[in-house]
Amino acid sequence: MLDSTPVTMLAMNTLIYTVILALISVGLNMILGILRILNVAHGVFMAVGAYLSITLVRFFLSSRLPVATTYLALILAGLIAGVLIGFIIEPAILRRIYSRIEVHQLLVTFALMLIIEDLIKFIWGPQSQIVTEPYLYLGVLNIGGLSYPLYYLFLMAVGYLILLLTYLILNHTKLGKIFLATAYDREISVALGIDVKKVYTYAFTLGATLTTLGGALMSPTLSLQPGFSTDYIVLAFAVVVVGGLGDVKGAFIASLLMAFARALIVIVIPELELATVFIIMLFTILLRPEGILKGRKT
């Protein structure tokens, strides 16, 4: 009888990694598509969501609330972090640099990343932060000969639900269509009466919230240390390139592709885990610079 373990591992790892990558990169790509700004600080938003979720989970537990309520704490922390970041950073900082050259925009968001990173150290300290209760509480599930913590199923259920909601907002609501119009043609959107400043704030907040929710949902599976989000933002940039700059649907499909490639290579040649992702990115830039869903380079 064939051993189904590698297939199960491949499928599960792909699904888990897809949702994590998509939560970060869909938000990043949405901000790029609508605000036309490459937000280097996007990864650190994920860290804010993760750290805040640890604080909120600890608060729930110290208030003697049942462990089951900590799942709500995780989601709440992600939402609070995203809304705070969105409604503070976009109007206070980003709005002032939209008309600046791209190098200035990169430098400002890079500075933001370093500032927030230091603020995290100041608030939560440089030591590792761990909260395992939500992870351990759900126990373990045996699938195809492998033991998977059930927390990952919770992470996937909530993560994919968030992505589905985002898809519905962007494609089937007036707000989503106003986002699309603004991304497509800023000047004509203004001339049609669209309040572009508001659109930018809402779009940035939604993009940031996807990432902070990603961070919050992942926090029980990680030992948080300052700088941990850097790995994820680098991967998210690769996803954004492969999916096509500013293309939200492309970002999701690229997340799936990258997650599958990574999960496969981890089973076959684990040493090439990171290289695989960036080889795909490199070939995308060379052959399909507008993203895998767009036409070939002519």
Name the site residues for another protein (rule: CB under 8 A).
174, 177-178, 180-181, 184-185, 187-188, 190-195
CB of 175: closest distance to another protein in angstroms? Answer: 9
The residue among 71 and 200 lying less far from another protein, judged by its C-beta, is: 200
End-to-end Cα distance, the chain:
49
CB of 190: closest distance to another protein in angstroms? Answer: 5
CB of 196: closest distance to another protein in angstroms? Answer: 8
Spell out the residues 6+ positions from residue 269 whose beta carbon is closer than 8 angstroms to its own: none
The residue among 110 and 184 lying less far from another protein, judged by its C-beta, is: 184
Chain centre distance of CA 12:
19
The residue among 169 and 190 lying less far from another protein, judged by its C-beta, is: 190
CB of 197: closest distance to another protein in angstroms? Answer: 9
Task: Region of 113 please: left (phi>0), alpha (psi -120 to 50) or beta.
Answer: alpha
The residue among 193 and 270 lying less far from another protein, judged by its C-beta, is: 193
Q: 224 by DSSP, 3-state: which?
A: strand
* φ, ψ dihedrals at 171, nearest 5°: -105, -20
Beta carbons of 207 and 28 less than 8 angstroms apart: yes
User: What are the E-state strand segments in 24-99?
Assistant: none
CB of 204: closest distance to another protein in angstroms? Answer: 18
The kind and range of the H/E element at 97 are none
Q: From CA 233, how far away is CA 89, in angstroms rounded?
A: 18
The residue among 187 and 271 lying less far from another protein, judged by its C-beta, is: 187
